[in-house]
Amino acid sequence: MTTVADAAPAQKSRRTLGLVFFTVFMDFVGFSLLFPIYPKLLDHYFASEPQGSLVHGLLEIARGVVGQGNEVAVTALFGGLLGALFSLLQFAFAPLWGNLSDRIGRRPVLLVTLTGTALAYALWFVAGAFWVLVLSRMLAGIMAGNISVAQAAAADATEGRDRSKAMALVGMGIAAGVLCGPALGALASHLDLSAGRAHDGAAFAINPFSAAAALSFSLAALNAFVAWRSFPETLTPEHRASKTPRGSVFSLHRIASPDIRRATLINLCFFSAFAGMESTITFVALELFNYTPTQNTLMFTFIAVSMGLVQGGIVRRSGHRIGEKRMVLAGLSAGLAGSLTVAFSHNQPAFYLGLFLFSLAVGLTQPSLAALVSRHSDERSQGFHAGVFRSAGALARAIGPLAAAVIYFRSGGHAGVYLACALATLIPLAMAVRLRQPQG
C-alpha cells in the first residue's frame, strides 16, 4: 500500500521529470528553428559579403573538396562544416559542464548554460556579418552541455529500472522539439525585419533571419526563466563529488566500468552513421522523388513523430520489462535494416519504410544507452559519465555529416552512403552483444 511518505518523493520525481522534459523540449525547439532556413541563410551571406571574407574562404574549401560545378553539393558541405563546428564545441564542453554539475549541483550549471544559449541567439539576431553568425554558433555549441546536465538531473530523480523511462522522456523532449522547431522556423523566415534597411556592411545589424533568431532567443530566455523559478536542485550535497576528472570520449580509459565505456563507443559509432543519414536524406529525396521543401518538412515530421511514438509507447511503457540491452540490440538491428532499405529504395513506400526503421533505431537505442550509462554510474559520477556520453554523440554529429557528404557527392548517388552506414552499424551491433543488463 502506498503511504503519504512514499507519495511525496514520487510526486517530487514526477515534477522534476516534467521540468526536464520542458527544458529539453524548449532547447531543441530553438535549436531546430535553424534547420529549414539554413540554405537561404548561407546564400544570404554568400551574396552580401565581399570576396576575401571568411564566408568566401570557407566556400572555396568546400569547392575544393566537392569539385567545381556542383553548387548544391558545395552548399551542403559548407553547411556541414558549420554544423561540425557546433558539434565539436559541444563535444569539448559537454563533459566539462557535466563534471561541474557533479561538484556544485545541476541547477547552477543548467542556469548558466541556458542563459548562455539565449545570448548566442541574441548574437544571431544582430549577425550582420558572417563571422558574427559563426561566433553565435560557437557560443551555442559551448553552452550545449545543458542536455547532459538535464539527463543527469533525470537520473538523480529516478532509480533502477525507472531510468529507462526517464531517458525516454528526455528523448521524447528532443523529438518533440525537433518536430515543432522547423515549422516555426519556416514561418518566421517569411518575416524579414531587415526589409527597407540599407545594408552598409556593418558587422552587427538586423539581417533577413533576425525574426527567427528573435523567436529562438525568446524561447531560450523563457526556458532559463522557468528553470530559475522552478527547477529544483536534484543532487544533494552529500552525493556531490569533491573532485572529478576532465573528460571527453577520449577519457574513456578513466572510466572503470566496461559497460559505460562500451555504451559510449556504441553511441559514437552508431550515431556517426545516423548523422550521416540525417544530413543527406533531403538530397536523397530530391534525387529520387524531386521533393519540394514542403514535402521535406512532412518527411521530417514523419521521422520525429515516429521517434516520439517509439520512445513514448515502447521505451517508457515497456522498457523496464524488455531491458535496455535488448532494446539496444533491437534498435541497432533496425538501423542496419533501415540503411539497406534506403540504399536500394526506388519508390516512396520503401523509402518511408527505411525512414521508419531509422526512427525505430534511434527511438530504441538512444534512451536505452543513456539509461545503461546512468544505471552503471553512482551519484557522484552521473554528470561526468553523461557528459562523456553526450560528447561521443556530439563527435558523431561532427564526423558523420562530413563523411557522408564526401561519400555522397564523390560516389555520385545515395546507395554508397547508405551501404557505408550499414557497414558502420555492424561495429556497434557486435559491441552491444557484450553489454551487461543491470539488475534490480
Maximal C-alpha separation, the chain? 74
pTM strictly above 0.75: yes
pLDDT score of 8: 60
Question: Helix, strand or coil for residue 204?
Answer: strand
Amino acid code (one letter) for 148: S
**pLDDT tens track, the chain, 440 positions:** 444 445 566 677 888 889 999 999 999 898 888 877 776 787 788 788 777 777 777 777 666 665 665 566 666 666 667 777 888 888 888 888 888 888 888 999 999 999 999 999 999 999 988 889 889 989 998 998 788 888 888 888 887 667 777 887 888 888 888 888 888 887 888 888 887 666 666 788 898 889 999 999 999 999 999 999 999 998 888 878 766 555 555 666 677 788 888 998 999 999 898 888 877 887 788 778 888 767 877 888 888 888 888 887 787 777 667 888 999 999 999 999 999 999 998 899 999 999 999 999 998 998 889 888 888 887 777 777 877 888 888 888 888 887 887 787 777 677 888 998 899 999 999 999 998 888 75
Question: Helix, strand or coil for residue 340?
Answer: helix
Would you say how long the chain is, in residues? Answer: 440
DSSP E strands, 139-251: none
Euclidean distance between CA atoms 68 and 298, whole angstroms: 32
pLDDT score of 304: 83
Give Cα separations from 79 to 38, 43, 76, 393, 398 (angstroms): 7, 11, 5, 19, 11
Domains in the chain: ranges and CATH: 17-232+247-432 (1.20.1250.20)
Per-residue DSSP letters for 158-180?
A: --TTHHHHHHHHHHHHHHHHHHH
Euclidean distance between CA atoms 397 and 410, whole angstroms: 20
Query: Where do we find the cell 559541444?
Result: 90
* The C-alpha cell that represents 55 in the structure block: 564566408
Q: How many C-beta neighbours within 10 Å does residue 175 have?
A: 27
pLDDT score of 182: 80
